Structure 1
Amino acid sequence: MNNNPISKFEDLIKKDYSNIAGIAIIKNEHLIYEKYFDGYTKEDGLHIASVTKSITSALIGIAIDKGYIKNIEQKVLEFFPDYTVKRGEKTIQNITIKNLMTMTAPYKYKSEPYTKIYTSDDWVKATLDLLGGKGGIGVFKYTTVGTHILSGVLANATGQSVIAFATENLFKPLGINAPNHVFIQNKEDYLAFLKDKYVTGWIVDPTGINTAGWGLTLTPRDMAKIGQLYLSGGVRNGNQILSSKWIEESTKEKSRWGELSYGYLWWIVDDCYAALGDGGNVIFINPKKEMVVAIASRFMPRAKDRIELIRKHIMPLFG
């Protein structure tokens, strides 16, 4: 029997969380644990799914810091002057960036029309066409396709591609290798991106707009660096990359989904907060313990709860 607590923890990962590819843990600004599974190495990126949303949140914050966006209360349609609103459609005109960031914008669909959006020629326009309708503004409705509008806002506000803006203002200052564009032409490409063992890049729509709700690949170390940036109040190597005020606001409850609290594209978990992605991708930040836990996982439907893993096993072992 192996009584080494770390070995027991790693055995647990292999047994009960077999789709985990890598874990990186930072405490007091030092990388205290890093481990890769299933043949992955620290150089291998993975599709981080909806963790992409929280990175989009950081980019919106940077765009506000730099004056490209006035504030979060700006109406979404201000950024799309060429968009024609359909007759009788009034709700869309009142939807703000804040509504998109807090998942409190209404949409004209019951379940997310991924195929319809991702086979269209212009994903932002296709999503704007679904924004509004009869639902009330302010009611929580979690959406991945809807978040894509924020990438359109970023591109139009900054005059740069999302990837160029992110590289210059977030990835490069954090020492993260900038991803390449990845185009998906059909359902097969989409499924391959989700399921292939080794994927790199950032999905981009036919007009050159990067996805905001999914589609970015990062390594666990990259994810941990973003978590540490938030923990450090937006400062890295003495440079203010993101304002501490934005971080504070982003990680306070702004809306609710049942018992779950939501900030600006970040989940609030008790006195901690997290970026959560399908399959078990996580950037978990515990301010009291000054800890960041980054977990990258391969795509898997109904993956076992990572928050439970962090709370029950990681915090007692490394905290």
Structure 2
Amino acid sequence: MTKSIALTALFFAVSAAHAQSGAFRPTKPVTLIVPYSAGGGTDVVGRLFAKELGELWGKPVLVDNRIGANGVIGTAVVAKAPADGTTLLLAVSSIVINPYVVPKLPYTTKTDFTPITPVAKPVSVLVSSPSLPASDLKSFIELAKARPGKYSIASSEPSTRLSGERIAKAAKIQLVQVPYKGAAQWMADVAGNVVDTGFASLTSALPMMQHKRLKILAIASAERNTTLPDVPTFREVGINDLDSKSWYGLFGPGGLPPNTVAAIYADVMKVLAKQEVKDRIRSLGAEPGGEDPAAFARRFHQELHEYDQLTREAGMQVE
């Protein structure tokens, strides 16, 4: 019995040591707000990091899918949360587009969030219904030019709508924009031949492509992806300004103390150092992130500036 008690004590001591191995020491469970539906690319990546960080911190990291209003509803929760690191946001580039396309945001994007790091960098792809008589972007553009206004493109957030507008402008084609409330819904409609095309992260599109529920026509990256060596890039058909700048960015509320930012970043880097985590991210069609907080903050504010011009050029800005 004495031996059993000693082993039990050792087990709890090791567990406690492991739980305290993180630089960040939350005193209660951490909530990770994912402002998009469960099962999408942002959600999948969020749950991966929630599990790993929860083990590191010795406190549960609870993923909360607060969907609606192009991500605004969930994002607003974080903007109003205490700046103690126990409420975090996993956002995509819509956070820097929404100020220009959503009227009367309930927060100030520039000041109400603290950039920590992009945990991963997804690749965007143009997908189509299986029955679309085009095998790649070049043949789709030919179809669209032959029948202006015949083909549709779905979007569930400003970033995907903007990508569609930019393709149409660059290729000089007319596409019918079909808005949706969530990516899962429009991707199901693409698979069901209800809508013709849409922009998605490779993370979301890859499983459906593998099950032949949709086709991937092109990839928004500088080079072909090793996961999809036969899929051309947009550059290859003369569309040169759609290289992916996407990220799954981790944010805290505005005013998050620098030492808390540094601690959370250090722990994210511990997670990203695991080979199995890097392999999992790549299997999802993304690349590991890890940009330091200062660099990510610069990127965040630079993209806020850039999307002002891009949304204006696309005629998407609200008055």
TM-score by structure 1 length?
Answer: 0.30
Higher Rg: 2
Bigger share in helix:
2
